[in-house]
């Protein structure tokens, strides 16, 4: 069974077609990246797949069920890390994740275990506002995983992180997928897509231009030492700008 099956998804804002007839299928256990520059429509696409935004056209099924109208039965089976982390004010890292855990009936002990798993055990008593950018992102991801979902959505989880913090987070993200979960990641970093994803959907101006394994997309250009930047140039006729 496909974890995600989207057909003809469309979202329009006035004259802007933010998502323009996108079809995409993700198999169970896959790590799929949606790659494109800012404004490509990646976040809007994810929000429709997650059931957070109503499509103007098309259909989407997640784990075999329709997501719109809002399907509350899917909520325990999916985890969502939003592009902008939203935490409760003045709570410590431990209090944050225990609060998220309580929403799903998960024990405090399991919540504390997730802090350890994302490398934040020593920061459990620190307030979120005192965490570094990379630490806050790790906490956000832990909160999305605390209820052990089958499918995880990560919206530009390494945005605004320095190169070392990004690579540290890659190890965590790889581990999430290795545990058998399906992961969908949006990113505008070419190297991130190449390092993490089984397949990528290259997106621009609301459309998915091509889908495939990073190595296959590069190889299909028929020249050595190509990169996903070259794939984007080949598909759009312009250089990639994050």
The stretch 210-234 carries a mean pLDDT of: 86
The stretch 198-208 carries a mean pLDDT of: 96
For the chain, the straight-line distance linking the first and the last C-alpha, in angstroms and rounded, comes to 34
Tell me the percentage of the chain whose pLDDT exceeds 70.
Answer: 98
Residue 3 in this model has a pLDDT that exceeds 90: yes
Give residue 142's pLDDT: 94
The stretch 8-17 carries a mean pLDDT of: 97
Q: What element of type H or E holds 207?
A: strand 207-212
Q: pLDDT-based confidence at 225, cuts 50/70/90?
A: low
Q: pLDDT-based confidence at 180, cuts 50/70/90?
A: confident
Give residue 88's pLDDT: 84
Cα dihedral 116/191/216/41 (nearest 10):
90
pTM equals 0.93
Read off the pLDDT of residues 40-67 as tens digits, 9 standing for 90 and up.
Answer: 999 999 999 999 999 999 999 999 999 9
Spatial distance between the Cα atoms of 10 and 52, rounded to a whole number of angstroms = 14
Spatial distance between the Cα atoms of 191 and 174, rounded to a whole number of angstroms = 14
The stretch 148-166 carries a mean pLDDT of: 90
Q: What element of type H or E holds 170?
A: helix 163-178
Domain borders along the chain are 27-41+76-236
Tell me the percentage of the chain whose pLDDT exceeds 90.
Answer: 72
Residue 78 in this model has a pLDDT that exceeds 90: yes
Grouping H, G, I as helix, E, B as strand and the rest as coil, residue 216 is helix
Pick the CATH number of 27-41+76-236 from 1.10.357.10, 3.30.365.10, 3.90.1170.50, 3.40.50.300: 3.40.50.300
Give the long-range contacts of residues 138-142, CB within 8 A, separation 24 or more.
Answer: 138/169, 138/172, 139/85, 139/87, 139/93, 139/96, 139/97, 139/115, 140/81, 140/82, 140/85, 140/87, 141/81, 141/169, 141/172, 141/173, 141/176, 142/97, 142/114, 142/115, 142/117, 142/118
Give residue 202's pLDDT: 95
Cα dihedral 41/186/112/76 (nearest 10):
60
Give residue 203's pLDDT: 96
The stretch 27-41 carries a mean pLDDT of: 95
Q: pLDDT-based confidence at 159, cuts 50/70/90?
A: confident
């Amino acid at each position: 069974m496909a974890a995600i099956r989207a057909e003809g998804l469309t979202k329009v804002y006035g004259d802007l077609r933010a998502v323009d007839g996108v079809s995409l299928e993700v198999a169970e256990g896959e790590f799929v990246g949606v790659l494109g520059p800012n404004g490509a429509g990646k976040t809007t696409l994810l929000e429709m797949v997650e059931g957070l935004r109503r499509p103007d056209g098309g259909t989407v099924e997640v784990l075999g069920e329709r997501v719109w109208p809002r399907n509350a039965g899917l909520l325990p089976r999916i985890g969502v890390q939003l592009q902008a982390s939203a935490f409760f004010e003045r709570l410590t890292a431990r209090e944050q994740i225990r609060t998220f855990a309580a929403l799903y009936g998960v024990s405090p002990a399991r919540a504390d275990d997730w802090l350890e798993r994302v490398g934040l055990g020593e920061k459990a008593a620190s307030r979120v506002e005192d965490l570094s950018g990379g630490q806050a992102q790790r906490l956000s991801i832990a909160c999305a995983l605390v209820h052990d979902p089958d499918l995880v959505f990560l919206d530009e989880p390494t945005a605004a992180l320095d190169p070392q913090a990004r690579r540290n987070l890659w190890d965590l993200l790889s581990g999430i997928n290795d545990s058998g979960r399906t992961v969908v990641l949006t990113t505008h970093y070419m190297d991130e897509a190449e390092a993490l994803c089984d397949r990528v959907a290259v997106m621009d101006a609301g459309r998915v231009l091509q889908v495939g394994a990073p190595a296959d997309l590069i190889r299909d250009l028929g020249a050595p030492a190509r990169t996903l930047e070259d794939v984007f140039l080949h598909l759009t006729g312009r250089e990639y700008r994050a």
